[in-house]
Amino acid sequence: MKRKLEILKLLTWYKGLQEEQAKVRVINCRINLEKLLQEKETIISLRRLYFDTLEKERIYNVEELKYKLFQIEKNKDLENLLNKKIDMQKDELKNLLNLLEKAYKERKLMEISKNKVQQMWNMEKIKKFYRDMDDLILLRRGRKYV
């Protein structure tokens, strides 16, 4: 019983480590998602800036106009690419959260199992103690009557 308890303690510790690793991965994924969202906001604001300059300044030569339109188009492509990355990051975050939930449930299951075995082992120790006490009492009484 003691060996089983030690194994369950080890498994509980291991499941706790797995849960901590999953937490770290979720945190890193959230940080990356926030960075991507900030980068997207920067690109959107740049594109707005280019549109604003096109509206304010009405006179452009052909090269300047080409350059501005090229920048706007390039920003749109970058935004589409970032949208794809953000979607992938959100999917990864969802998968990591599911993994974290699974690790949490496994750790809780190991803790419950460990606690049950601990209680059984404690009960066995108590029963053994009372058996030993009964044997001692029987030995003492046996010596008195002999």
The whole-number pLDDT of residue 145 equals 63
Four-way CATH pick for 2-117: 1.10.1040.10, 3.40.50.300, 1.10.287.1700, 1.10.10.10 = 1.10.287.1700
Confidence of residue 64 (pLDDT cuts 50, 70, 90): confident
- The domain limits of the chain are 2-117
Secondary structure string (H, E, C) spanning the chain: CHHHHHHHHHHHHHHHHHHHHHHHHHHHHHHHHHHHHHHHHHHHHHHHHHHHHHHHCCCCCHHHHHHHHHHHHHHHHHHHHHHHHHHHHHHHHHHHHHHHHHHHHHHHHHHHHHHHHHHHHHHHHHHHHHHHHHHHHHHHHHHHHC
The whole-number pLDDT of residue 13 equals 92
